[in-house]
Amino acid sequence: MKKNSVKKLAKILVDYSCKVKKGETVLIDSDLPAKPLVLELYRQILLKGAYPMIDWSTEGFAHIYYNNATEEQLRHYPKITEFKHLNTDAFIFIRAPKNRNELRNCDTRKILLRRKILDPLSKIHIKKRWVIFDWPTKTLAKDAGMSFEKFQKFVFSSSLLDWKKETEKMKKVQNLLNKTDKVRIVAKNTDLTMSIKGMHAIIGDGSYNMPDGEVFTAPLKNSLNGFIKFDFPYRFMGRKISGIFLEFRNGKVVRAKAEKNEKFLKQMLATDSGSSYVGELGIGCNYKIDKFTDNTLFDEKIGGTIHLALGFAYPECYKGKNGKKGNKSVIHADIVKDLRDGGKIYFDGKLVEENGKFKI
């Protein structure tokens, strides 16, 4: 890994994504393998005159926890962590997995229960400045079907972009979405319609995800009708759910199938009252990400794809008082549909994307 690339990335995360200022407290929450980046982030934050904190995590803890925690421990709310989050100005989350299957043999009921208990913490940091980055590991490279060296180049080439220029490119899509009522997505085994009337489209400009490159909005909760077959699998608590097919009626998933791990798909949909509704429609616009990597942070940005997120809807997509009407859930499951081979997107009956290429 070139030190210069690490330094450039750290500066983007500190200066651009989190906009760290003098006197602020910044929490770096990272897995151990990302130490080179964390050290540079720590230095950059200090140079800003801010106060860095580091929370380290490593594989093994989650497996031990879910196989040994009692019901009382699962339901325990960490007030100390809440205090830390309330008094933190910006969060930098660095994931660097060496074992993505750690939760595979854990009780999913326990994991979902713990998510519900910790949900208030998510609501704290999501209102502040935060960014997520996945440090390249050999595990992620293997899942992406690349050599480690090639994967490193892939990660940094899709992250070290001029994000202000990328934002300007995506404004055309944003402006059109903001004027649209009906969206229709058509492809093999897919014909899905929804309304986004009155919603606000957001540009994924690198402020919260790195790499980024998408434009997303929230469909009206009860407006989805039709069906969709997803080309790419989705990872849920250590399980890979493949060949996902969803049918919607008045916004809700009324039929769900999967070629692999269908049981866990249905369990995810039954998490809470909002998990069987869609909270986000996203359009991938990062053409530096041109292949499936089995990592949602990258795959939902692939130029020529769309993704639907089951569950939580980002409140910033709702204008004014409508912010309280967004779909509520403890999950936000982004599932990606590839449109580069025959797929089409229509806005109010007008063809705006075909075979993954915009026609606007």
Q: Please report the pLDDT score of residue 113 as a whole number.
A: 93
Residue 191: pLDDT band (50, 70, 90) is very high
C-beta separation of 240 from 233 below 8 A: yes
Q: Determine the 3-state secondary structure of 230 from DSSP.
A: coil
When pLDDT is averaged across residues 335-350 and rounded to a whole number, the result is 97
Residue 3: pLDDT band (50, 70, 90) is confident
When pLDDT is averaged across residues 61-75 and rounded to a whole number, the result is 95
Residue pLDDT, tens place only, 275-305: 999 999 999 999 999 999 999 999 999 999 9
C-beta separation of 10 from 157 below 8 A: no
When pLDDT is averaged across residues 206-233 and rounded to a whole number, the result is 96
Specify the amino acid at residue 274. Answer: G
Specify the amino acid at residue 98. Answer: K
When pLDDT is averaged across residues 178-190 and rounded to a whole number, the result is 97
Q: Determine the 3-state secondary structure of 278 from DSSP.
A: strand
Q: Please report the pLDDT score of residue 237 as a whole number.
A: 80
Q: How many C-beta atoms lie closer than 10 Å to residue 312's C-beta? A: 25
pLDDT score of 65 more than 70? yes
Q: Please report the pLDDT score of residue 320 as a whole number.
A: 55
The first and second tokens of residue 186, run together, are 């058509």
When pLDDT is averaged across residues 122-150 and rounded to a whole number, the result is 95
C-beta separation of 236 from 260 below 8 A: no
Between 104 and 52, name the one with better pLDDT: 52
Buried b (16+ CB within 10 A) or exposed e, 279-310: bbbbbbbbebbeebbbbbbbbbbbbbbbbbbb
Kindly list the domain boundaries of the chain, sorted by start residue.
Answer: 3-157, 163-358
342 φ, ψ to 5°?
95, 0
The dihedral built from the CA positions of residue 111, 113, 117 and 120, taken in this order, carries a sign that is: positive
Q: Please report the pLDDT score of residue 360 as a whole number.
A: 83
Q: Please report the pLDDT score of residue 321 as a whole number.
A: 45
Cβ burial of 73 (10 Å; 0-12, 13-18, 19+) is exposed
Residue 1: pLDDT band (50, 70, 90) is low
pLDDT score of 322 more than 60? no
CATH architecture of 3-157: 3-Layer(aba) Sandwich (3.40)
338 vs 299: CA distance, rounded Å = 10
pLDDT score of 319 more than 80? no
Mean pLDDT of the chain: 94
